Amino acid sequence: MTLFWIACAVLLMVALPFVVWPLWRNTANDNAGNDNEIQRDAANLEILRDQSTELEADLRDGLLTQDAYEQGKRELQARLLEEVKVTSRDTLLVKPAAAPYRSAKGLAIMLAVLLPLASVPLYLTLGNTKALLPQQDTGMAGDFGVIRSETKLQELEKKLAQQPENPDGWLVLARSYSELQRFPDAVRAYEQLVKLVPDEAMLWANYADVYAMSKDQSLLGEPTRFLGKALELDGNNLLALALSGSAAMERGDYVAAITHWTKLVELLPPDNSELQIIRSGIQQAREFLSMQKGGKEKLAKLPAGKVPEKASEKAASSQGAISGKVVLSPALAGKFAPDDNIFIFARDAQDQKMLLAVLRKQVKDLPLQFTLDDSMAMQPQMKLSGFDQVVVVARISRSGNPIAQPGDLQGSTGVVKPGAKGLNIVIDTVVQ
């Protein structure tokens, strides 16, 4: 900033002579001409006085008559008024033009003083003083990158405390906290951001995502409301459609899940790597809907939502697949109807509420061989192969709902890694 003001001072000093000097020079020249004119008038006046004295002397000596003297006197007075601009024979007047000469000189002095003094407040009023500040190294990649340095994050927090109406800063902060998995802080940043930019669908979708991550990864409640706002602003927002489908699955609204995910499939390009997972989610939602009372009638009204499956997508879905066998404890045989549903699913070992892949069978299929892979994902963004440790559970549901109910029977493995083979699950525990 100091260098900027020094440069301004130098430029001002260079410019001032071009403004002041012409006024000052013209004033000097005009004054010089004025002085010469005064001297000339004074000389003419002296000559006229001498001639007037001679006329008076000739009148006394009798060389002129009174009439000739009066005529000569009138001629001298006429020449006096014409040549030297006096009000009387003995008084020399200063010309009125002298005042403008003095004004021009005063104007030159005034500009020399006022221009430097006025330029600074004028710039502070009309200019951009923030442009004078040095650019801070935020460690960001691009305009809306991610800050990974704790020091830089704290600096940005302080800056936003002073400039809370800076949406770009809040966006950087929100994305940075999301990337660092500091979800409560990200929620706070997005809360401020959507107040400043309330009509951007993607911000509401991201807000819903980080809010869910901060609340045990549940999309129910506020995240669902945020997603509704996002779809209201942009019904084709991909993230909002994906998360809305997941939220619908979580609350058991399979019709809504199918609707959102089917639309998502239609919007994605054919070579998108997530298509297989989304199709699997739609298929799971259809299966769950068919098990509900009146679900088959609702299902018949929905679009088929089929997308041709590519061989490459089948290969991708098999990565991290878990396989094994499920058997029913002999002590519990006969306690369930053959058509009762069995749900075999993998869930995150760290978060038991997060279902990663689900397979539905019936009691009459026991004992059965199973395989769980990415194509059976409950949520498109949650792949089985993307987790380090999982637990596999087999549950017989009397209600037909995959959510555990008292009286259901289940068995589970210990913690295993995706890709585990030959697992053996015995259903032998009553859900309390």
Give me the residue label for tokens 């009204």.
301
Between residues 180 and 297, which one has the greater pLDDT? 180
Task: Specify the CATH number for 150-300; select among 1.10.260.30, 3.40.440.10, 3.40.50.720, 1.25.40.10.
Answer: 1.25.40.10
pLDDT number for residue 303: 65
What does the pLDDT look like over 369-414, one tens digit per residue? 988 887 777 666 677 777 888 899 888 887 666 677 777 888 888 8
pLDDT number for residue 269: 85
Distance (Å, rounded) from C-alpha 144 to C-alpha 200? 15
pLDDT number for residue 185: 92
Between residues 313 and 151, which one has the greater pLDDT? 151
Confidence of residue 37 (pLDDT cuts 50, 70, 90): low
pLDDT higher than threshold 80 for residue 247: yes
Distance (Å, rounded) from C-alpha 75 to C-alpha 73? 5
pLDDT number for residue 92: 42
Confidence of residue 195 (pLDDT cuts 50, 70, 90): very high
Per domain, the residue ranges of the chain are 2-130, 150-300, 318-430
Percent of the chain exceeding pLDDT 90 equals 15
Between residues 328 and 316, which one has the greater pLDDT? 328
DSSP 44-110: HHHHHHHHHHHHHHHHHTTSS-HHHHHHHHHHHHHHHHHHT--SBTTBPPPPTTHHHHHHHHHHHHH
Between residues 36 and 394, which one has the greater pLDDT? 394
pLDDT number for residue 127: 65
Take residue 175 and report the two structure tokens written for it: 């994305």
In CATH terms, the fold of domain 318-430 is: Immunoglobulin-like (2.60.40)
pLDDT number for residue 230: 93
